[in-house]
Chain A
Amino acid sequence: MADEKKEAKSFLDKIVESYEWTIKRLERTILFGIRFVIPNKVVSPHGFLGMLTFITFIVLGVTGALLMFYYRPSLTGAYDSVKMINDEIDFGIVIRNIHYHASNLMIFLAIYHLFYQLFSSRYKIRNEIIWVTGVILGTLTIVEAYIGYDLIMNIRAVLAINIGAALTYSTPFIGPVIADIVIGTGFDDLILRIYTLHVLIFPMIMIILFTLHFPRNLVFDPGMVGIIIGALFITSALFPVPLGDKYTPDLPAQVTVPEWYINPLYALLRTELDKFVMGVLLPTLFIMMFMVVPFIDRSKSMKITERPLALGIGISGVLQSIVTTVWGFYVDPDPRKSYVERLAIDPYLFFGVLILINIVSFGGAYLYSKYSKKSPTPPRRTRSEPINISKETIEGIVYAMVITEFFVVGVSLYMYLLGNLTFGLIATGLSLIIFGFISYGIRLITTR
């Protein structure tokens, strides 16, 4: 009889047993050392901006690995292979656009993450090392993206390589050594070396630094991830990144500007003052300003309005980044003027504006904290009115969203079938966003 009983349970039992067997063994791996928290109610993405940045990093890894199948890291082949990815390979333009926009999104999210942590003083609660590795990771992300778009070898890329090379050479002592290592004997070496740095060495360093940056509890919110990646896909469909003109040494460079994340540097260089001070020293000081925040801001308070120094650094950081980035994009549009004249930025005006920004933000921060201390207003916790929608209605909305999602997925597949990649990608992005909202809807029901 016992045998029969064993027989009857065996199939399901085996599945359960093997599941438990696997889990028990997985417990010995590092995977179970990390605690993933999937929030059970609607939470603000501010709490897991770092996780969103990491998700974008994974998107970049996947699309980048796919692009490696076709990209040729050589002086003669680089541009043509990117052109082939763009024009000939099925979905090549989709993968390339997602990779490009994801790089923009990752840097933007990293900067957003930095400023949110700064304004909410998260670096205070024994998070100093996490903060410092975070600033290093952000810088590495920008360098990684910068060498990534150099790989296309169009005129913009060579402008960027040119700026980078000039800055490296102008750095005393280590500069020439680094330049020798990266440039080698010329373009052909350079392109292979920055390719290796871009696809292997920098991502490796970043992954190693992640272990020093990630907190023990990771919040993973499928809803927000769906929304962010959906937004990324829609942007990629709406704005296909132009390929640019191929770099040939006989062709003149058009008046062009680098990507936005190194544009502050470009604006500084265009003041035509000393290259090392403008291009290396000042940006380093700017980054160091953020790095030292936890060590100079020793006040006990967690409220940003009571910490004028951190508030000032935050505001001046945001304003200086925006102003220098936009200024770097501006080139005098009158082609009748000389090239040098069009690019030049008046240093007195430029630094006048930057100094003004600093005075206003630090002065404003100190005045604000002083003023708000004098008249302490007790924080009013006004509970906002709950949304009175019955469980049934939310359920109805969720069902409707599920049906819409399936419809949109169908449209997306049909568009790919027709070869309309733009609308296909928009529909894919839309379906991901709807998936995100479904997950929020379900959370509203389950927490009620």
Chain B
Amino acid sequence: MVDRRTVLKSLFVASGIAALAPFFPLGKFLTPEAQASYPRQKVGNINDIPILGQLFVTYPKTGDPAKDNDPFRQFLIIRTGENEVKAYSRVCIHLWCLVDYQKDKDLIECPCHGSQYRKEDGYAVAGPAAKQPNRYLPILKVEIDSNGDIYAIGIEGEIGYGR
């Protein structure tokens, strides 16, 4: 027979722990604009980009230049077909330089240490980035509407780390 005091004491401890539970969702305070809350933003029009041309865009755009110049908000859109684009984060997964697309080599290249990525899926084929555990550039998820406007809707992968 468990004595009454022990029961009451353990109830007291249990209720204390239960009272802490509502604080866990408050942890969301620490992660602003978490992945789920990326807004749908227009970032450009496909007709402005020549075939195999590139466009640098900022997403999510805030209007605050200090934030918009952040390398983590820089993306690259390559037009690969009539109505088809590929969009990646510009932050090289090796040491966070900004990559761009080299038309003559048909590769996305990092100017700093010469890492090279395929334009089809952002896979690192050469250079120090090819030594990283996650070898794909993070993807900017986009939608193209009938006018050719490109809307960014989210990011797949961790910027600066890969996917």
Contact = CB atoms under 8 A, between A and B. Distances in A.
Direct chain A–B contact by Cβ atoms under 8 Å: yes
Interface of A: 74-76, 158-159, 162, 165-166, 169-170, 176, 179-181, 183-189, 249-253, 272, 274-275, 339-340
B92 to A, nearest CB: 9
Interface residues of B, number: 34
Main secondary structure on A side of the interface with B: helix
Contacts, number: 80
Contact of A340 (B72, B112, B131, B160): B131
A185 B72 CA distance: 7
B128 A186 contact: no
B67 A188 contact: yes
B18 interface: no
A448 B11 CA distance: 66
B31 A181 contact: yes
A76 B69 CA distance: 9
B97 A186 contact: no
Interface string B140-156: 00000000000000000
B40 interface: no
Contacts of B132: 166
Main secondary structure on B side of the interface with A: loop
A340 to B, nearest CB: 5
B32 A249 contact: no
Contacts of A165: 160-161
A75 B69 contact: yes
B70 A250 contact: no
A166 B94 CA distance: 9
Given A179-B158, A249-B91, A162 B73 contact: no
A249 B96 contact: yes
Interface of B: 27, 30-34, 60, 66-67, 69-74, 90-91, 95-98, 111-114, 127-128, 131-133, 158-161
A251 B111 CA distance: 8
A187 B70 contact: yes
Nearest to B113: A339
Contacts of B90: 249
A159 B95 contact: yes
Given A76-B69, A186-B73, A275-B133, 5 more contacts: A74-B66, A162-B95, A180-B34, A187-B71, A249-B71
A181 B31 CA distance: 5
Most buried by B among A159, A166, A176, A272: A166
Contacts of B158: 169, 176, 179
A166 B70 contact: no
Nearest to B31: A180
A314 to B, nearest CB: 35
Nearest to A184: B32
A170 B97 contact: no
Contact of B70 (A75, A162, A176, A275): A75
A253 B112 contact: yes
Given A165-B160, A252-B111, A340 B128 contact: yes
A253 B69 CA distance: 19
Nearest to B158: A169
A158 B96 CA distance: 8
Contact of B97 (A183, A249, A339): A249
Contacts of B128: 339-340
Contacts of A274: 133
A249 B32 CA distance: 24
Contacts of A251: 97, 112
27 contacts: A74-B66, A75-B66, A75-B70, A158-B96, A162-B95, A162-B96, A170-B133, A180-B31, A183-B72, A184-B33, A185-B33, A185-B60, A186-B67, A186-B159, A187-B72, A188-B67, A188-B70, A249-B90, A249-B91, A249-B96, A249-B97, A251-B97, A274-B133, A339-B114, A339-B128, A340-B127, A340-B131
